[in-house]
Amino acid sequence: MKILHIIPSVSLIRGGPSHAVLEMVWELRQQGIDAVIATTNDDGDGLLQVPFNQWIDYPISATEADKTVPVQFFSRFSPALTSIREFTFSFSLTLWLWQHIREYDLLHIHAVFSYPSAIAMKIANLAKVPYIIRPLGSLAQWSLQQGAQKKQLYLRLIQQEIQQANALHFTSTQEQQEATASGLAFSSFVLPHGLTLPPSRPDAKTQLRDWLNLPAEDPVILFLSRLHPKKGLDALIAALGQLSNQRFQFVVAGRGTPEYEAELHQQLQAARIQDRTHCVGFVSGDRKHLLLQGSDLFALPSHSENFGIAVLEAMAAGLPVLITPEVALADLVHSEQLGWVASQSPSELAHAIQTCLTTPRIAQSMGERAGQLVRSQFTWQSTIQQLIHHYQTFVQPSSIPASSTMLDAITPVILTYNEADNIDRTLQRLKWAKRIIVVDSYSQDETLQILAKYPQVELFQRSFDTHANQWNYGLEQVQTEWVLSLDADYCLSEELTAEMAALSTDSEFDSYFLPFKYCVFGKPLRKTLLPPREALFRKSKAVYVDDGHTQLLKAEGCSSVLNGPIYHDDRKSFSRWLWAQDRYALLEVQKLLTTPQSDLSFGDRIRQTKVLAPLVVLLYCLILHQGLFDGWRGWFYAFQRVLAEMILSARLIEASYRRNTIQTTNEPVLTRPLESTS
């Protein structure tokens, strides 16, 4: 495949995205993809001194001159007016694209509010060349609020090109959700940045203190980013001003406009920390690695970060980090205890910094965990394999070399009973599968007719007795090493498919847990009650057992968690949902009344109280899982879950009143398969 990357600038002054595209293209070329970059000679307020209109081998970093990628530079229009200069207009780039764009199988366009990006979208659209857009956070809420009128006008001009893109490439789920809120309609996938790990410098702390003449015993707090109001440096300075009784040194690495830098110096004086602040300007290469590995805390209290490459670099260096919830890595930092997540309130930031300074061992362990996590999950090699799969999805088949992937070793298994409302959407997302096993319990609607439209579906019919028996029967029909178990209303996301394709068939893991996003009438909610489900596993290492109204996979060996979600998108009627919930409740009551107390989960013990569960679920759905922010869909989901708990509570009260278990209540025997649990 020939992939053309378009970006307004590859100048390191422009920050992480420019450096990331250089590393991305280098790794693509290492994996056999003919990837190149077309850009301008933009260098912030200045211009790069590079040859124009010819391919040159351009180093991906100042410290890796031997690693180069093909880049062609075009002259940027450079008037004195900053707003026009920042638009990065280039007539020569426009002409070149008209002449050469059809030579490429796909364009990967980086940025939105810039001339090179916009003209590349328009020409690719006219030339019928597939293209992907990486917005770089420009469609996030905070970004759209800056110069809102101008950006709304600009969006109207390129709205068609954005919506007709093959996909938008987001680097975090948070960025994807904020872009969706903009009102634009688009296809998308989420794929985070990778990272090239720097060489270790064991003496970095000593060297840093020697370079800046810092007291050896003082911890160093590092801010390393572009100097811009978006980055929240003013809040960080105010926070440090509240810690005058603490020993610390503050290092600011980055460059901004002269006006903003002067404003920051005034803030440092007002906070009375100018005597312990060291502004070192823009750094790269060895100096950057020295700062990251020699400091004790990395702080970036940004208003908005679609990913946060600088945060990832700090974590890779073994630094604990202090960030705001608006940084896309915040959930990861919080859940894995890699640092602190605080609002931009100076008092909250000050409290987090004080905690770090007064508990150095805890901070050090956080940094060590951060380094280990980055090394295991954020390398370019694994990221690029997933990116290539996305490219292959959009490029004409004749351009894709034949290859064998993990997908060839996976057989999806699906259970059905009257799933005509759902099964077609599920199968549409499984077109990559060579064989799909469907175990049907003699459906009476149009399920079988829909299944017949898919040649890779192999249908087996079996009378339903229990979920575990039904699933194990399906496993017996599988001939591949790996199994993907799916309910009929589970739709794979593109991110998950790409992530599975990038896995090795010889993986050290024997099973994978897959996260879920619950959908209400096709739209995903922010969060869900469903935990990740162990759904991708080696056939030889797994068996199903019954667990209440559902089944439980017993898998041997090591497991891991994938990031791409499954969308739980049940479109069956409400009356059918009520029918299923009542039957689920019968089996759950039997489980709650017969299982020893010590074997019940915390949630099951709450259900045993009969009255607490509906209230807890309501608060959980609307508050903890932010259903309030999902509008009426969030309320609908909360209503469904509360109603399900009320049905279960009513059945429990009934069973207690009869002073017997569900087996002695003369309830009708279950003769129909049960649908999904949510």
Using the Cα atoms of residue 477, residue 480, residue 486 and residue 490 in order, give the sign of their dihedral. negative
pLDDT at 284 over 80: yes
Distance of CA 249 to the CA centre of its chain: 34
Nearest to 592 by CA among 603, 581, 577, 576: 603
Of residues 413, 416, 457, 453, the one with CA closest to residue 434 = 457
Name the residue ranges covered by the structural domains of the chain. Answer: 2-190, 204-377, 404-568, 574-664
* Average pLDDT of span 368-378: 86
**Is the confidence at residue 128, as pLDDT, over 50?**
yes
β-pairing verdict for 68-74 and 55-59: antiparallel
Is the pLDDT reported for residue 344 higher than 60? yes
Compute the distance between CA of residue 405 and CA of residue 434 in angstroms, rounded to an integer: 12
Fold of 404-568: Spore Coat Polysaccharide Biosynthesis Protein SpsA; Chain A (3.90.550)
Task: Name the superfamily (CATH) of residues 2-190.
Answer: Glycogen Phosphorylase B; (3.40.50.2000)
Q: Which residues pair with 567 in a beta bridge?
A: 491, 517
pLDDT tens digits along 147-178: 767 777 777 888 888 888 988 998 888 788 88
Of the pLDDT bands very low, low, confident and very high (cuts 50, 70, 90), residue 549 is low
Fold category of 204-377 in CATH? Rossmann fold (3.40.50)
Phi, then psi, of 567 in degrees rounded to 5: -90, 120
Is-same-fold flag (2-190; 204-377)? yes
Residue 54: predicted pLDDT: 94
Which pLDDT score, from 0 to 100, does residue 483 have?
A: 96
The per-residue b/e assignment along 464-475, b for 16 or more CB within 10 angstroms, e otherwise, is bebbbebbbbbb
Of residues 665 and 458, more confidence is placed in 458
Q: What is the pLDDT of residue 14?
A: 80
Using CA atoms, how far apart are residues 126 and 658, in angstroms rounded to an integer? 72
543 SS3 class: strand
9-23, 264-278, 308-322: range with lowest mean pLDDT = 9-23
Least confident of 266-275, 512-521, 653-662: 653-662
pLDDT confidence tier of residue 83, bands split at 50, 70 and 90 = low
212 pLDDT band, cuts 50/70/90, is very high
CB atoms within 10 A of CB 258: 9
Among the listed residues 652, 646, 592, the one whose alpha carbon sits nearest the alpha carbon of residue 616? 646
Tokens of 609: 């109280």
